[in-house]
Amino acid sequence: MEVGAGGGSLVQWLAERGASVVAVDIDTRFIESLASDSVEVRRLDIRSDELPQGEFDLVHSRLVLEHLPDRRQILDRLVATLRPGGWMVHEDYDWTAFGFEGESSSDLERVTTTFLSFMQQAGFDPHYGRRVVADMADAGLVDVRGEGRARVIDSSAPGFDFFRLSFESLRDAVVDAGLLSAEEADAAARRFGEDVRLFTPTMVAGIGRRP
């Protein structure tokens, strides 16, 4: 089961390698077209909807739990969807190391801090990557381990658009909340269009097995 399937890139990757995939999301508009003999699309809210029990060999999510205030309880619900011996992989960011190269990027650093603070008001945890492995162990999984990765990328690199588009998607809400002026937000948007280099957050993958 792919939780929070989003645009479906990982769903496609799994299906192309012979897996039968159940792709779930609260909004399935972007994955409906992927439905096939090997891909089942389900509209589910993992916070409250009834979930299948003991059905899956693998449950995976990326950048999902960090956004949900009741993430620990949701993790218990997801563990219950695994068959005995099934594996769970959750990937979430630790934003501690995120930043921009050079002293001239202090404006972007301040904007980033403002955006993260805004997201925290809605229950986002910018450091959940530090805790996902421990939470998976507390949820009763065994053989639990973690792996982390981070990169230094510039505006031409794959993955840079994730950060630029994340900024654009929240820009108006942050301005409307009075946390940034429109002029400050516009200046940050222009900086994202320049040749800027950033240190990505650390993506931590927690891996564990249901006994």
- Quick one: CA dihedral 188, 193, 194, 198, positive or negative? positive
* Pair 44, 59: CB distance under 8 Å: no
Q: Which helix (H) or strand (E) holds 14?
A: helix 9-16
- The whole-model pTM stands at 0.91
Residue 198's beta-bridge partner residues?
A: 100, 153
Structural domain boundaries of the chain? 45-209
Question: How confident is residue 87, by pLDDT bands cut at 50, 70 and 90?
Answer: very high
- The average pLDDT across 42-55 equals 97
The CATH T-level fold of domain 45-209 is Rossmann fold (3.40.50)
- The average pLDDT across 154-181 equals 93
- The average pLDDT across 117-143 equals 97
The pLDDT value recorded for residue 91 is 98
The pLDDT value recorded for residue 198 is 93
What rounded mean pLDDT belongs to the chain? Answer: 95
The pLDDT value recorded for residue 3 is 98
Report the 10 Å Cβ neighbour count for 204. Answer: 22
